[in-house]
């Protein structure tokens, strides 16, 4: 019974002592925690000693951590930059693609206008009306922008009149359109003419709505 009593007492003294030893050290680094009830001077000395090495350790740890952090930060920033750069490139590429698509659509649209905008004539006439002249001006612009294009200008007539007379009239219509374009600066060697008279109508029907569509100079790319 007495042995048990002394063992318990020893434990009762040691364990708190250990606890105080450890906690005192920490408290010294933070320099805020209250001091325990253990003998102060010895604790303090030990604490200071432990403090110093612990502090050093902690400082070193901290420095290492800081270094690590900074390195990580640096890496992260590099990665971010890289990602940004890549995104930028992709965006740029996307933008370029979009621009190119728009440009192509514009080109196609201009070409379509060139091919489909009608140059029409009055009955039995190869004189260029104002509307016809405006449209031919636009065609001249397109031809100048597309210097490699060669074109066949077809002359057509509505179904009225003799086939032979209409062949000649169709020829005069094609030639009138060509001469106008030459005067606007398009090279004559890029344009050839042919007359189809009334032989190849675009619109079927025996009334002015159809006839007016067929009295035309028609442009075909070679």
Partner 1 sequence: MIRIQNKIAGIVCAVLLLAWPMPGSAEYDYINISNPFLKKIPIAIPVFKAFSRSSAENIAAKSAADLLSKTLEYTGYFKIIDRAAFLADPQQPHIDIPDIVFRNWTGIGSELLITGGILLHNDMAEMELRLFDTIKAKLIVGKRFKGGDKDQRKMIQRFASDVIFSLTGDRGVFNSKIAFVSNGTGNKEVYTCDFDGYNPRQVTQTNNITLSPAWSSDGKWIAYTAYSKKNTNLHIMNLEEKRGAVVSQKGLNISPAWVPNQFTLAATLSFEGDPEIYLLTGSGKIIKRLTQSVGVDVSPSWSPDGKKMAFVSDRSGAPQIYSMDLYTGRTERLTFEGGYNTSPSWSPKGDRIAYAGMQNGQFNIYVITTDGQTLVQLTRDAGDNEAPAWSPDGNLIAFSSTREGPSKIYVMTAYGTDQRRLLTLPGEQTAPNWSLRIMND
Q: Binding residues for partner 1, per CB under 8 A? A: 124, 152, 160-165, 167-169, 171-172, 192-196, 199-200
Q: Which is nearer to partner 1, 152 or 182 (CB)?
A: 152
Smallest separation, CB 154 to partner 1 (Å): 11
Q: Which is nearer to partner 1, 56 or 122 (CB)?
A: 122
Residue 173 CA to residue 194 CA, distance in Å, equals 10
Tokens, residue 85: 């750069």
Contacts of 106-115 with CB under 8 Å at 24 or more apart are 110/142, 110/145, 111/142, 111/146, 113/138, 113/142, 114/138, 114/139, 114/142, 114/143, 114/219, 115/219, 115/220, 115/221
Smallest separation, CB 194 to partner 1 (Å): 6
Q: Which is nearer to partner 1, 145 or 199 (CB)?
A: 199
Smallest separation, CB 100 to partner 1 (Å): 35
Q: Which is nearer to partner 1, 111 or 172 (CB)?
A: 172
Residues 157 and 149: beta-carbon distance below 8 Å: no
3-state secondary structure of 114: helix
Tokens, residue 199: 């032989």
């Amino acid at each position: 019974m007495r042995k048990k009593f002394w063992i318990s007492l020893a434990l009762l003294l040691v364990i708190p002592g250990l606890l105080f030893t450890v906690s005192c050290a920490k408290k010294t680094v933070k320099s805020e925690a209250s001091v325990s009830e253990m003998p102060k001077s010895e604790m303090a000395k030990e604490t200071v000693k432990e403090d110093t090495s612990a502090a050093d350790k902690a400082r070193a740890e901290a420095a290492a951590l800081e270094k690590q952090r900074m390195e990580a930060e640096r890496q992260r920033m590099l990665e971010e930059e890289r990602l940004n750069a890549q995104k930028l490139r992709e965006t740029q590429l996307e933008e370029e693609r979009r621009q190119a698509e728009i440009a192509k659509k514009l080109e196609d649209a201009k070409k379509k206008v060139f091919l489909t905008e009608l140059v029409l004539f009055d009955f039995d006439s190869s004189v260029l009306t104002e509307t016809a002249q405006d449209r031919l001006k636009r065609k001249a612009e397109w031809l100048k922008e597309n210097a490699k294009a060669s074109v066949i200008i077809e002359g057509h007539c509505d179904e009225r009149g003799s086939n032979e007379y209409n062949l000649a009239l169709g020829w005069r219509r094609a030639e009138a359109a060509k001469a106008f374009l030459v005067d606007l600066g398009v090279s004559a060697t890029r344009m050839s003419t042919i007359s189809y008279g009334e032989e190849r109508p675009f619109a079927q029907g025996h009334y002015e709505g159809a006839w007016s569509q067929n009295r035309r100079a028609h442009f075909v790319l070679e």
